Amino acid sequence: MTDLGVETGDSLLQSLFKLPDNRTYLTKTQLAYADVRRAIVTHSLPASTPLDEAYLLALFPVGRTPLREALKRLAHEGLLGWPAHQAPTVRDVDVHEMRYLYETRRLLEPTIAKLAAQRCTEIDRRNMERALMAMEDASASGNIYSSVEHDYALHTAIARTSHNRFLAESSNQLNLQSLRIWYRAQERHGVAGVEVMHRQLVQTIASGDADEAERLAIDHIASSLARQQAWLDEAILPWGK
């Protein structure tokens, strides 16, 4: 195991691994997973390029077995493609797939927000607020990667508040696929203000206003797509906004 000392207080590690407050270490596999996931999300590892094991071990010298276990988890989550007898590759959402990603978000997220408002418990409210505060802290510090990961954690907390595991699992898979494009948008436009609409949504869900929560979720998706628009315009996609 790799002793991280003060790192256990890092809210990002807490979010990734659901660590208890008294946890003082990460396993080598967890450390490898955190490092490789960060490299994927931040585009430090290029998409669609075979990732040779020797190359990865040079970047992430944690040992062959921990690295392989981390890669298996990342492949299971859809962040890597790993065909049999081939090297893994980073999966990405290209400009042509973006249409379908946002189409799916429009189907899932308003329903999740509405159900969350109808079913929110006090524990749900605290979980959403904790995730939101971590996102706000990351945005205030200007840490793009941390902001993106806490954004993902907040969406996870909201989806769980629907108390529908099928919706929550579908949303989680979609948002994992979105991490790289969220990072690209925040890198282009900055992180300032990204938490404002999220706070409105969390407060509305906690208040139990299902119709308003649904409307805010629709607005949030439109805002997210608008942040991608500059990149989409470069690809000359006709469906745009």
| pTM of the predicted structure, to 2 decimals | 0.87
CATH number for the region 2-90 comes to 1.10.10.10
- Res 3: pLDDT: 38
Q: List, for residues 171-184, the tens digit of each pLDDT value.
A: 999 999 999 999 99
Q: List, for residues 53-89, the tens digit of each pLDDT value.
A: 999 999 999 899 999 999 999 999 999 999 888 999 9
2-3/89-90 β-pairing: unpaired
CA atoms within 13 A on the CB side of 66: 18
Q: List, for residues 24-55, the tens digit of each pLDDT value.
A: 577 888 889 999 999 999 999 989 888 989 99
> 217, 201 in Cβ contact below 8 A?
yes
- Please give the CATH topology (third level) of the domain spanning 95-234: Four Helix Bundle (Hemerythrin (Met), subunit A) (1.20.120)
The pLDDT of residue 1 is above 60: no
For 89-105, give the DSSP string: EE----HHHHHHHHHHH
Tell me which of 117 and 13 has the higher pLDDT.
117
- Is-same-fold flag (2-90; 95-234)? no
| pLDDT category of residue 91 using cuts at 50, 70 and 90 | very high
Q: What is the mean pLDDT of residues 209-213?
A: 98
Q: Which residues pair with 47 in a beta bridge?
A: 90
- Res 234: pLDDT: 62
Q: What is the mean pLDDT of residues 154-167?
A: 97
Q: Which residues pair with 80 in a beta bridge?
A: 90
Question: Domain residues of the chain, as ranges?
Answer: 2-90, 95-234
